[in-house]
Amino acid sequence: MPDLTLAGPTLAEFETARTVVAHAASVTPMESSNFLAELLGSPVYLKCENLQRTGSYKIRGAYNLLAKLTDDEKARGVVAASAGNHAQGVAFAARELGIKSTIFMPVGVALPKLQATRKYGAEVVLRGHSVEEPLRAAAEFAAATGAVLVPPFDHPDVVAGQGTLGLEILDQVPTLDTVVVPIGGGGLISGVASVLKQRFAAEGRTVRIIGVQAANAAAYPVSLRNGVSTEIATSPTIADGIAVSKPGILNFAIIKDAVDDVVTVSDDDIARAMLMLLERAKLVVEPAGAVAVAAILTGKITNSGTTVAILSGGNIDPLVMEKIISRGLVASDRYLKIRMTLPDRPGQLARVAELISEANANVVEVLHTRHGRNALISDAEIELSLETRGPEHVQRVLGHLIDAGYEPRIDF
């Protein structure tokens, strides 16, 4: 087995970090999931870092780094750039340690994240419309003022802090076989993988570590194939918390040796996972925090013994949550939107409603117009939004309409 201590913190350093981090971070719950266990064919547990202080695991690495600063560095203050969880983690840690913090955030940052970061005592500066602009601004601020720049993932103290989560998981599920971890830049999985691989090797046991990325921002599969940290062009994804275009250098060095596989999931997969967590586990989890569950739901994780899926965060704007729930319903065939052309004469709308009722679907919304672009002068066009109960029910509804002579078209 590769000597993981060459790339990252040693077991002793992880244990020291646990003592430090305990001053700020909570020991989060470990919940079993019967639904996922039945799907996977083996026990599945959910590590609920969405219930962590500040709403994510980020407080662990931020506090560990800030606590190790010298008195002179603390006096100069700290600065960071983030659109979400890293901002809140740094702000909270700085407040707990009596350090002045300045956080650069993009102009369009979600209001709850902005308010929370300010509430934790940070001076927030809004700059630019993408993550790159606040990053540049934070680096310039550090150079001009002497403030300590706090990186989100590519730092040994951050990795050691995030790795305390691995020690906690092992305390709660000592018989674990597989851990499934979200990946952005790699701070969380490099810490968790390194500490668990070292502990298991010392005990003569093995453990599988599987990373999960959003398909639209998956830099690790490319980097692992190339053998070097590689920057990619990302596409928009609902999992913005892990949308990182290039792996951290230290993180990649650990991950290429300590992580067994990296898989990807789509936005629809993530939305379905968030909906499942709400309904089955009664947990609010942000998109980036739900990717491990998405990987299980889509069959990317096979039966590999007792499995722990990390829910890395729960910070989500309620307005975004509403949109994602709707998307999850559509992706799960629980919500169906169709268009149809009807003869423009009395009774047609009532007839369609009757057919849908016979198929046991529920009409949520109706749009009826004579001005459809593809309709004849004697026709009208109808758009229906329906509540359905899964793929088989959707096909039954469509089949019932087709048998009655209509031509329903699914509207995505």
Both 77 and 120 in one domain: the answer is yes
Domain count, the chain: 3
Both 75 and 105 in one domain: the answer is yes
Please provide the DSSP assignment of 264-288 as one string. Answer: EE-HHHHHHHHHHIIIII-----TG
Supply the range of the domain harboring residue 135.
59-149
Both 93 and 37 in one domain: the answer is no
Both 244 and 360 in one domain: the answer is no
Question: Where a domain ends, among 304, 329, 354?
Answer: 329
Note the pLDDT tens digit of each residue in 274-327: 999 998 999 999 999 999 999 999 999 987 799 999 999 999 988 888 888 887
Confidence of residue 208 (pLDDT cuts 50, 70, 90): very high
Average pLDDT, the chain: 91
- Residue 181: the pLDDT is 98
Of 121 and 2, more confident: 121
Q: For this structure, is 47 an active site residue?
A: no
The arithmetic mean of pLDDT across residues 270-275, rounded, is 93
State the CATH number of the domain containing residue 392: 3.30.70.260
> What is the Cα–Cα distance from 137 to 130, expressed in whole angstroms?
12
Question: Where a domain ends, among 133, 149, 165?
Answer: 149
Give the strand pairing for 335-343 and 409-410.
antiparallel
Token code pair at residue 56: 């994510």
Both 202 and 306 in one domain: the answer is yes
Q: Catalytic pick from 47, 58, 246, 300?
A: 58
Identify the residue whose tokens are 């009757």: 354
Both 122 and 184 in one domain: the answer is no
Identify the residue whose tokens are 């992880």: 14
Tell me the torsion sign for CA atoms 270, 276, 279, 280.
negative
Both 302 and 194 in one domain: the answer is yes
> What is the Cα–Cα distance from 76 to 292, expressed in whole angstroms?
38
Both 271 and 247 in one domain: the answer is yes
Question: Is pLDDT at 352 greater than 60 in this prediction?
Answer: yes
C-beta atoms surrounding 189 within 10 Å: 34
Both 48 and 81 in one domain: the answer is no
- Residue 3: the pLDDT is 43
First to last CA, the chain: 49
Both 348 and 377 in one domain: the answer is yes
Both 53 and 182 in one domain: the answer is yes
Closest CA to 162 of 132, 194, 139: 194
Note the pLDDT tens digit of each residue in 110-149: 888 899 999 999 999 999 887 778 989 999 999 999 999 9
Note the pLDDT tens digit of each residue in 362-402: 988 888 777 656 666 778 888 898 888 888 998 998 999 99
Q: For this structure, is 58 an active site residue?
A: yes
User: How far are the Cα atoms of 228, 297, 303, 351 from residue 106, in angstroms, in the given order?
Assistant: 29, 33, 41, 51
- Residue 373: the pLDDT is 60
Q: E-assigned strands of 35-129?
A: 44-48, 78-81, 101-105, 123-126
Whole-number percent of the chain with pLDDT over 90: 70
Q: Catalytic pick from 56, 190, 223, 312?
A: 312
State the CATH number of the domain containing residue 275: 3.40.50.1100
Both 265 and 248 in one domain: the answer is yes
Question: Where a domain ends, among 149, 166, 199?
Answer: 149
